[in-house]
Amino acid sequence: MRCPFCDHPDTQVIETREADDGDAMRRRRRCVHCDKRFTTYERVELSLPSVVKKNGMRADYDRRKLRASLALALRKRPVTSEAVDATIGRIEEKLLALGAREVPSERIGELVMRELKKIDKIAYVRFASVYREFGDVDEFASAIEEVQPKAVKGRKK
């Protein structure tokens, strides 16, 4: 590992420990040339499938696009960044579990909607309105009905 300060090619690992709940290794390093210390992180790199868009074009999976879509749907909603990270993690796990080289963007959209329905109903309706391209109020009403609790004996839960 090259030193980020002096670009010397030789560094020593001083300390190693797990980071991010075991998903990464955190290493404290020391440059043998300039004696400065720095931290590196080692993570498993998994290959997520390519995304096939509605128009047939293919693009690399981009976690930032997924995060941006979720952020837009969750704007001004009481959902923590940890919950968003966990949601992205679950979506990516499902994409990896498919074992496919390519996945239609519609499949990713459905996974996002399923996750949003669990964490925030308003964000679910917002995302659905754009994703499903609602054309009238009736489509909004049916999306809202999907997330409303069912009435039991004339009373709502």
SS (H, E, C) 90-128: HHHHHHHHHCCCEEEHHHHHHHHHHHHHHHCHHHHHHHH
Residues 94 and 10: their CA atoms lie apart, in Å, by 40
Residues 89 and 126: their CA atoms lie apart, in Å, by 21
**pLDDT value of position 105:** 94
Range of lowest pLDDT (32-46, 52-66, 122-136) = 122-136
pLDDT in tens, 6-23: 999 999 999 999 876 777
Residue where the block lists tokens 């498993």: 44
Cβ atoms of residues 136 and 147 within 8 Å: no
> Which of 13, 10, 14, 15 has the alpha carbon at shortest distance from 33?
10
Residues 118 and 99: their CA atoms lie apart, in Å, by 25
With cut-offs at 50, 70 and 90, classify the pLDDT of residue 153.
Answer: very low
Mean pLDDT over 138-149 rounds to 78
| H-run or E-run covering 81 | helix 81-98
Who wins on pLDDT, 145 or 20? Answer: 145
Q: Where are the domains of the chain?
A: 11-43, 50-148
